[in-house]
Amino acid sequence: QADIAMYQAKEKGRNNYQFYSEEINAFVKVQAMLETSLHRALEKRELDLYFQPQVNTKTGEIWGMEALLRWFHPKVGNVSPDIFIPLLEDTGLIVEVGEWVLLQACTQFVDWQSKGLLPPNTSVSVNLSARQFVNCRILDAVSLTLEVTGINPECLILEITESMLVEDVRQAEAILGEIHRLGVKIGIDDFGTGYSSLLYLKRFPIDHLKVDKSFLIDIEKSKENAAITSAVIQLAHALGLMVIAEGVETQEALSFISDYECDVYQGFFFSMAISRDDFTELLLRQSKTMSTRMS
């Protein structure tokens, strides 16, 4: 367990940490151990979805939510997605888990909607992994999910990253075109952090850009972050895309993106990702506030 605590700490500071051979050994052991237990994690219901609220910047109303995977390891406790998502990807398990996430997220969304808890035009965002994007299986998964849950396709946003668009451009074009034809929306996650040209904004059917959270850090002090964030918001709007800021942690960050009329934000300032039950509570509170305001 001490090994794992160290592993998690090291993973976080990977770039500025000198590894010693002993520690590399521990690192490899922990990785192998996590990988083994990950195989059983799904059956044992150790994996669950949390939801982070996304807020309409103008009105302060809930605009949507992003589904985020959580792994509660019985011994280790909470393992960070930054650690277990790459493991899921290496083992190929991400394909199965990713389909489970998609189905779960849409099922939960429809449940909230049917209980009248969601404001009109709310949407749910689901992250896709590059491994899910290499063949047409993703299209079957999306179609099946739409069919099984009955979710309005326009309420579903699939988040992809820039790097997924450069590997096989034709394949990406075909898959995104098909997803779009189903009515499902596409968002670019962590915009500005990948290796790709802006050309893809023209080439692919994209609906949303998400400003990466690294650009929101200390935005009131960092001229560079301020310049990049405002430029991305303006670029998105000039292209007719919606823009979502992630990692809004402070009032200053919120004021900044409000000034530039960023459409939607998510971040610790409003809420972290929370369990389904906590999200239900939040929706109940919101709907009460809204109805008091109207009466």
Binding site for ligand C2E (CB under 6 A): 52, 68-69, 80-82, 85, 98, 101, 127-129, 159, 189-190, 213, 246-249, 266-268, 273
- Partner that binds at residue 263, options Mg ion, ligand C2E, none, CB closer than 5 to 8 Å by kind: none
Distance between CA atoms of residues 236 and 252, nearest Å: 22
SS3 (DSSP) at 62 = strand
Asked if 269 contacts 253 with a C-beta cutoff of 8 angstroms, the reply is yes
Q: How far is the CB of 267 from ligand C2E (least distance, A)?
A: 3
Distance between CA atoms of residues 14 and 27, nearest Å: 12
- Partner that binds at residue 270, options ligand C2E, Mg ion, none, CB closer than 5 to 8 Å by kind: none
Residue closer to Mg ion, measured from CB, 41 or 216: 216
- Partner that binds at residue 273, options ligand C2E, Mg ion, none, CB closer than 5 to 8 Å by kind: ligand C2E
Asked if 84 contacts 71 with a C-beta cutoff of 8 angstroms, the reply is yes
Q: How far is the CB of 291 from ligand C2E (least distance, A)?
A: 28
Q: How far is the CB of 20 from ligand C2E (least distance, A)?
A: 27
Tell me the helix, strand and coil percentages in the chain, rounded to 5: 55, 20, 30
Beta carbons within 8 Å of 2's beta carbon, 6+ residues apart: none
Residue closer to Mg ion, measured from CB, 127 or 145: 127
- Partner that binds at residue 208, options Mg ion, ligand C2E, none, CB closer than 5 to 8 Å by kind: none
Q: How far is the CB of 135 from Mg ion (least distance, A)?
A: 22
Distance between CA atoms of residues 55 and 245, nearest Å: 10
Residue closer to Mg ion, measured from CB, 93 or 158: 158
CA 267 to chain centroid: 12
